């Protein structure tokens, strides 16, 4: 059929994956159409994810920090929180960034189309115009023809089927909306998103419970790191319920009454509890089944993921997919790197540039960060994984009680840990395989360890790299020296 618009690349969804793909494709000279159902670009990350959560977490971290200052000889009054103003601050941060994206799209001559896109064939997407929050449709549609497509339709929060429809039950988007501070809050799910939002509410005055089906919080992170986090954060919680399932909930005048059951051996089955706010943070599910993929012949897994190869290509050679919709880890920085690969492969193929066309996603590692207080950051192999996989590792651990800067900051609870290959073939010069940091600013430092892993650095490379003194980043060099066996003199 005829199309209203045509392009070299149609990008479906304008999150970190989608806008990065669109911008890179445009920079490489392609004609790009970017389809997004929301009014603003930026997807989950900018609008209701990474950025607004960090705006609130920063405020919470400063509040927590100064609350300990009396012992240092400086006291502030009890904080007075104006929730409307705080929410407005967060919205302004988001607005600045999404506005910046819109301007960048314009400069690059990326055509943005507002609406809900679905495939109607292998080379056509139909877009139904949306308004408001992106759910309402105006009834207007247009068909866009493409040579290539990049699916970047992301994911959405999982809702437990038995949760009542009630303003006191929210997902992360609702929690970020920050209407009031509850007295008692249940965080359902002990992952990063739940614990970050729990941190914000707890600093603002809420008492927290957390319930997690599996046997630990922040699973995926090295247990040693989490132990430090948990010890410092214990005062925020009334109950940390591990190996516990949430099996029912009902709305009452007093609050949301939630019932629990044991999730396997060693689990607990606490009595029902009533909460003023329940945050569902039990994971995110990909949007693969909501875009008419079958009309384009694109394969989608039962769970809604779209399988791709290392060039981000789906089973249909001219259609690519990136970001949360292709699988774990569901992180913005992964989406951005996948986006660049897809855009470059397409440009390379359309322009007959073999080198560009052979680009592939081959990151060795993808770092993770919980922006809690203290922060927990990790990348590559953990000690548990090494043990499970029978990989022999040499450990370099540097406690921040020996870091001049951490002590000066009054925040020496953290540590930096590096793991090096200690297999016989490595002859004592094994490469770095993983690392983790717990402590203030851990997230800002983990990139160095990721770089070291990508470069195949060993303990000598890292230990002999001169880090500035006194910094927290120095702890990475020190941990490497510990692993290598040399003693360090600098406190």
- Please tell me which residue in 318, 337, 429, 469 is annotated as part of the active site: 469
Nearest distance from C-beta of residue 58 to ligand FAD, angstroms: 12
Q: Is 68 a catalytic residue?
A: no
Phi, psi (deg, nearest 5) at residue 451: -60, -45
Helix (H) or strand (E) holding 452: helix 442-455
Give a three-class secondary structure readout of 32-94: EEEEECCCCCCHHHHHHCHHHHHHHHHHHHHHHHHHCHHHHCCCCCCCCCCHHHHHHHHHHHH
Tokens of 19: 């806008």
CA distance 196 to 208: 12
Task: Map residues 352-391 to x or -, x wherever contact with ligand FAD holds by CB under 6 A.
Answer: -------------------x--------------------
Give the number of other Cβ atoms within 10 Å of residue 39's Cβ: 14
Does the footprint of ligand FAD cover residue 277 (CB under 6 A)?
Answer: no
Only segment of 10-18, 94-102, 262-270, 392-400 that touches ligand FAD (CB under 6 A): 10-18
Indicate whether 36 belongs to the interface with ligand FAD (CB under 6 A).
Answer: yes
Q: Is 153 a binder of ligand FAD (CB under 6 A)?
A: yes
- Find out whether the peptide bond into 329 is cis, omega within 30 degrees of 0: yes
Binding mask of the shown chain, residues 327 to 356, with x at each position contacting ligand FAD by CB under 6 A: ---xxxx-x---------------------
One character per residue 44-63, x = contact with ligand FAD (rule: CB under 6 A): xx---xx--x----------
Residue in 9, 10, 15, 374 binding ligand FAD, rule: CB under 6 A: 15
> Contacting ligand FAD (CB under 6 A), which of 9, 150, 152, 204?
152
Count residues near ligand FAD (CB under 6 A): 37
Edge-to-edge strands, sheet with 255-262: 244-252, 255-262, 273-275
3-state SS, residue 404: helix
Could you say whether residue 437 binds ligand FAD (CB under 6 A)? no
For 8, the enclosing helix (H) or strand (E) is strand 5-12
CB of 365 to ligand FAD, least distance (A): 14
Near ligand FAD by CB under 6 A: residue from 7, 30, 32, 43: 43
126 binds ligand FAD (CB under 6 A): no
Q: Does 246 bind ligand FAD (CB under 6 A)?
A: no
- Measured between alpha carbons, how far is 279 from 170 in angstroms, rounded to an integer? 5
Question: Of 11-19, 203-211, 388-396, 464-472, which segment contacts ligand FAD by CB under 6 A?
Answer: 11-19
- CA atoms of 226 and 224, how far apart (whole Å): 6
**8 Å CB contact between 486 and 396:** no
Return the sign of the alpha-carbon dihedral for residues 13, 14, 19, 20: negative
Stretch that binds ligand FAD, among 1-9, 150-158, 303-311, 424-432 (CB under 6 A): 150-158
In the complex, the smallest distance separating the C-beta of residue 345 from ligand FAD, rounded to whole angstroms, is 17
49-211-225-219 Cα dihedral, nearest 10 degrees: -70
Task: Give the residues lining the site for ligand FAD (CB under 6 A).
Answer: 12-18, 35-38, 43-45, 49-50, 53, 116-117, 134, 152-155, 172, 193, 287, 291, 323-325, 330-333, 335, 371
């Amino acid at each position: 059929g005829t199309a209203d618009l045509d392009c070299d690349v149609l990008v479906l969804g304008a999150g970190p994956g989608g806008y990065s793909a669109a911008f890179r494709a445009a920079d490489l000279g392609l004609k790009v159409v970017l389809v997004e159902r929301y009014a603003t670009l930026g997807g989950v990350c900018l609008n209701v994810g990474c950025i607004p959560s960090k705006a609130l977490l920063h405020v919470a971290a400063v509040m927590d920090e100064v609350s300990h200052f009396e012992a240092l000889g400086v006291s502030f009054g009890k904080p007075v929180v104006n929730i409307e103003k705080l929410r407005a601050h967060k919205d302004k941060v988001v607005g600045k960034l999404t506005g910046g994206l819109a301007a960048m799209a314009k400069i690059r001559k990326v055509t943005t189309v507002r609406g809900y896109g679905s495939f109607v064939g292998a080379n056509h997407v139909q877009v139904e115009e949306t308004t408001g929050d992106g759910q309402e449709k105006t009834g207007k549609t247009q068909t866009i023809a493409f040579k290539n497509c990049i699916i970047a339709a992301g994911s959405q929060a999982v809702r437990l089927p038995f949760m009542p429809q009630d303003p006191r039950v929210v997902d992360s988007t609702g929690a970020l909306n920050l209407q009031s501070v509850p007295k008692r809050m249940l965080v359902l799910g002990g992952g990063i998103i739940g614990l970050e939002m729990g941190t914000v509410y707890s600093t603002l005055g809420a008492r927290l419970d957390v319930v997690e089906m599996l046997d630990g919080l922040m699973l995926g992170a090295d247990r040693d790191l989490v132990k430090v986090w948990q010890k410092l954060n214990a005062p925020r919680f009334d109950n940390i319920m591990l190996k516990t399932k949430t099996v029912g909930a009902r709305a009452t005048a007093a609050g949301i009454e939630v019932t629990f059951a044991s999730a396997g051996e060693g689990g607990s089955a606490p009595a029902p509890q009533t909460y003023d706010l329940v945050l569902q943070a039990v994971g995110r599910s990909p949007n693969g089944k909501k875009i008419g993929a079958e009309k384009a012949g694109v394969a989608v897994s039962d769970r809604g993921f779209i399988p791709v190869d290392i060039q981000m290509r789906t089973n249909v050679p001219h259609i690519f997919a990136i970001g949360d919709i292709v699988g774990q880890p569901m992180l913005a920085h992964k989406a951005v790197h996948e986006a660049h690969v897809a855009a470059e492969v397409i440009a390379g193929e359309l322009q007959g540039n073999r080198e560009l066309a052979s680009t592939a996603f081959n990151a060795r590692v993808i770092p993770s960060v919980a922006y809690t207080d203290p922060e927990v950051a990790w990348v590559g192999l953990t000690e548990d994984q090494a043990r499970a996989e029978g990989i022999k590792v040499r450990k370099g651990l540097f406690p921040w009680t020996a870091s001049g800067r951490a002590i000066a900051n009054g925040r020496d609870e953290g540590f930096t840990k590096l793991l090096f290959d200690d297999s016989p073939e490595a002859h004592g010069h094994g490469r770095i395989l993983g690392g983790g940091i717990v402590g203030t600013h851990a997230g800002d430092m983990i990139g160095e360890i990721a770089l070291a892993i990508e470069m195949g650095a060993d303990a000598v490379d890292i230990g002999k790299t001169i880090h500035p003194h006194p910094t927290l980043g120095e702890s990475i060099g020190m941990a490497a020296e510990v692993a290598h066996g040399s003693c360090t003199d600098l406190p």
